Amino acid sequence: MNKRTEPSILQNYDSEIASLISRNRGISEIEALRLFLNSKTHAMLANDDMKLWHFSPLAVFDMWEAEEATGDPRNSLYIRGDEVE
């Protein structure tokens, strides 16, 4: 069984990323929070074994955007590790 990330850590990320989604998409923070909480990215963040909390909220937001665009947060440059030219 996977250990869950500490609730206080998740709460901080949830708030920060919902705010970023809200501003980026022009939607309410509640709707943005719903989108994030129901995402694969959030499930990965909640899995403490993955240690995504080592990334900044902006990096996790990028993972969420990659998921929205491609269906998989693992397509984010932060996970793939591609160099940006």
Give the pTM: 0.89
Query: What pLDDT, in 10s, does the model give residues 14-72?
Result: 999 999 999 999 999 999 999 999 999 999 999 999 999 999 999 999 999 999 999 99
Handedness of CA 18, 16, 39, 78 (dihedral sign): positive
Bigger pLDDT: 84 or 29? 29
Point out which residues pair with 47 in neighbouring strands.
4
Handedness of CA 51, 34, 1, 12 (dihedral sign): positive
Question: How many C-beta atoms lie closer than 10 Å to residue 23's C-beta?
Answer: 11
**Residue boundaries of the structural domains of the chain:** 15-80
Beta carbons of 18 and 29 less than 8 angstroms apart: yes
